[in-house]
Structure 1
Amino acid sequence: MKKYNKVTPEGTKDLLFEECLVRRDVEKTLRDVFSSRGFNEVVTPGLEFYDVFDPNFSGIGQEVMYKMSDRRGRLTVMRPDSTMPIARLAATRLQALPKPIRLFYTQPIYRNNPALTGRSDETAQTGIELLGADGMRADLEVIMTAIEALGKCVPDFRFELGHAGLFRALAEQLPISDDLREDIRSAIESKNYASLNRILDGLEQSRPVTAMRTLPRLFGGEEVFAHAEPFCSDEKSGGMLKYLHELYRSLSRRGLGDKMIVDLGLVQRNDYYTNIVFSAYVEDCGDAVLLGGRYDNLLGYFDFPMPAIGFAINVDAISKIMLEHGTLYSVMPADVLVHGETNFEMEALNYASTLIEKGLKCENSIFETKEKALEYAKTRGIRRVDCIGDRIETINLI
């Protein structure tokens, strides 16, 4: 039975004509930004061993991975994330390179999203990883690269800045299990106040509990830092808040104040983020089109410890936004249809090659008669037909 031979699996789709043009244009635009800043392209396999994405470290639930086994029975997955394979690559084949290592990628990831969410299971991504660099200079470089790259495609966006370590520092002060701590994190991330309050109401009221209750509401401009200070009185969380404030001020001096929002409730699921995290949103798109942050412990998982920071851009989301907002990507017809008369087929192909060398877009006629070739040209909007026989006859169609 061929029940599924005319449909694609849930969460996937075919791309046609204009969709392909805009995707390739977005990818080229982003590649140009990354390469101009000294980043070099790498490609990792679409198929990786499951151990690369160990959920206990990656934060990527095994239920979202597409799993299979190789011929030796070893568990493999279709790549659900690009950062961890690049960390594996750096820890194996790039160990001898001087630091920092600047890498970028353009490749799809595969995640089994829950039904009815409208999200894709196959998503084209491009992004960068800056490995072996820490501190303010590295953070500013990556964030400014993200803003430049996104601005080349969709100038009107909102950039959110947060700190993954801040939530952990405050949550560590709660005498609760790791599972309950994860429930709190999830409620804060989704800004589900009802769920968050239900959990916190069951705990003894304290400064850390009040901090957890307040955290998802701490978003806005520079005033957020003053509101957060009472909850970050210890050295660890206070130092994180101070660093984030300094980073915010540096970015504001570069004219990003109107695009940038501080969100201390930005606590992404990926467990490998350790420090600053950031994301970007565009109107009419519910999910973030850019996600990134610092992951200083990730390379240690691959026995190659060093600091690192990076981000990924959802190419499919950007492409869809550009098409919906009226960016024109027209599939243009050929400039010339070249038709060879009987016994002049090779001459026609050679003639078409000379026109292509001159920069024209040429299509070769596969029709037996000139009349059918002309009829085809009219239906496809091709305005010139060159007929090759004992002589060359050019017919202009208006």
Structure 2
Amino acid sequence: MKKYCKITPEGTRDLLFEECLTYRNIEKLLAGVFQSRGFHEVVTPGLEYYDVFSQGESSIPQEFMFKVTDNKGRLMVVRPDSTLPIARLTATRLQNELKPLRLFYTQKVYHNYPSLRGRNNEINQSGIELLGASGVRADLEVLSTAVEALSRCVPDYRIELGHAGFFRALAKELPIDDEVRETIRSSIEQKNYAALDTILDRLEQSQAVLAIRRLPRLFGGEEVFDEAFGLCSEIQEAQEPLEYLKGLYQKLAKLGMGNKLMIDLGIVHRNDYYSGIVFSGYVLGSGDAILSGGRYDRLLKAFDSPMPAIGFAIDINALTKLMMDRGNLPSQKSTDVLIHGDDGYEIKALDYSNSMKMSGLCCENSVLETREAAVDYAKTQKIPRVDFVGAEIETKLL
């Protein structure tokens, strides 16, 4: 007996009707935002060589990837991320293109979560990558694009903004190895205060220890900077990312985004991957981040094409669910007329249907055997009119 022929794999699901409409509408909205700002669409293969995702500090743990082999025995993976393939693409086919490059994508990624906990293994993402540009102008461009993209879909979002360099500078002051550093980072990311305190209590107390202990709580408005500067007054390397982040926040506030922005110095996810600002987008009613991104200036070096880069990705699955839960569904034009061709008049019925569609009507062609069955079907589907095509055209209003 085939056990799995009627179910989908764990972490995947079918999409039906209104959900598909919402899904495609979001894709269209986001693509419109990106194209209006000069970004060009790219699509990368669903299968990539494993080596693309095993690039040192930018690597993805192999247990999180679905792996296959090709007919030559080479290890391949089902695409777990879009940024790394786009980095590969930039370093190869686009290496001679004028920089900066403005690229966007809408495609699926696949994560092999050991424990799903309500997560999806198949995620549709839409995002941008701005490659070959550094500095405040590039960061402002990407952040303002993120704000515009979310605002086109939902009104009640917020962007949380941090800097990878702040935690890195503080951790550098501690007498710890990479393993302990990663445990500290993970505890901060998970807001696990007890685990964080247990580790820090073993260390000699210093300004860096005190600052890291407070890091998960350094969240809020512009006032966060005052506390953060006080916590690292003796650590010059930690003050530099704070200065940059504060200036960026103030510029965004002048654009009228202040009420949508929060500072979160506890954003430390993939700290070895990101090199500058990091940010996440949240929407009321969704616990996990719907948008995530940041600056990753070291990534392209792994592909022998060093250049600064920044980007973000939006989880279309999560955004679709949120909009459907709110009843925010795109309208679909209902069928105006059902066209039924009598025996021997099937081709005439198809020609008639085409002419009716040219006049702006939404037409459905009957595939039923009799007029009576066609009328019953139209009543069930709430189609208000049936046109019978024979020697003459007859109309029945329901």
Answer whether TM exceeds 0.5 for this pair: yes
**Match of 1:32?**
32
2: CA distance, partners of 1:366 / 1:170? 70
**Which aligned pairs between 1:30-69 and structure 2 lie closer than 5 A?**
30-54=30-54, 56-69=56-69
Does residue 368 of structure 2 align to residue 367 of structure 1? yes
Note the C-alpha offset of 1:59. 4.7
1:50 corresponds to which letter in structure 2? Answer: Y
2:58 corresponds to which letter in structure 1? Answer: S
**Match of 1:200?**
200
Task: Output one character per residue of 1:117-141: Cα deviation in whole Å (capped at 9) or x when no partner.
Answer: 1010000100000000010111001
Task: Output one character per residue of 1:347-382: Cα deviation in whole Å (capped at 9) or x when no partner.
Answer: 111111111222222111111211111111111111
2: CA distance, partners of 1:126 / 1:351? 40
**Match of 1:260?**
261
SS at 1:249 equivalent: helix
Note the C-alpha offset of 1:72. 1.0
Whether contact under 8 Å (1:160, 1:261) holds in the other structure is yes
**Match of 1:187?**
187
Does residue 174 of structure 2 align to residue 167 of structure 1? no
Note the C-alpha offset of 1:211. 1.6
Whether contact under 8 Å (2:55, 2:302) holds in the other structure is no
Task: Output one character per residue of 1:163-214: Cα deviation in whole Å (capped at 9) or x when no partner.
Answer: 0111111111111111110010011111110111111112222222112111
1: CA distance, partners of 2:252 / 2:395? 60
**Match of 2:147?**
147
**Which aligned pairs between 1:1-398 and structure 2 lie closer than 5 A?**
1-54=1-54, 56-232=56-232, 233-269=234-270, 271-329=272-330, 332-397=333-398
Whether contact under 8 Å (1:128, 1:311) holds in the other structure is yes
2: CA distance, partners of 1:118 / 1:84? 26
2: CA distance, partners of 1:28 / 1:266? 30
Note the C-alpha offset of 1:116. 4.6
Task: Output one character per residue of 1:215-253: Cα deviation in whole Å (capped at 9) or x when no partner.
Answer: 111111111111111333333221111000100111111
Structure 2: which 5+ residue stretches go unaligned? Answer: none
Structure 1: which 5+ residue stretches go unaligned? Answer: none
Whether contact under 8 Å (2:335, 2:362) holds in the other structure is yes
TM-score by length of 2: 0.97
Task: Output one character per residue of 1:38-86: Cα deviation in whole Å (capped at 9) or x when no partner.
Answer: 0000000111111111163225221111111111111111111111100
Aligned length: 397
1:372 corresponds to which letter in structure 2? Answer: A
2: CA distance, partners of 1:113 / 1:285? 20
TM-score by length of 1: 0.97
2: CA distance, partners of 1:215 / 1:60? 25
Identity among equivalent positions (%) equals 60
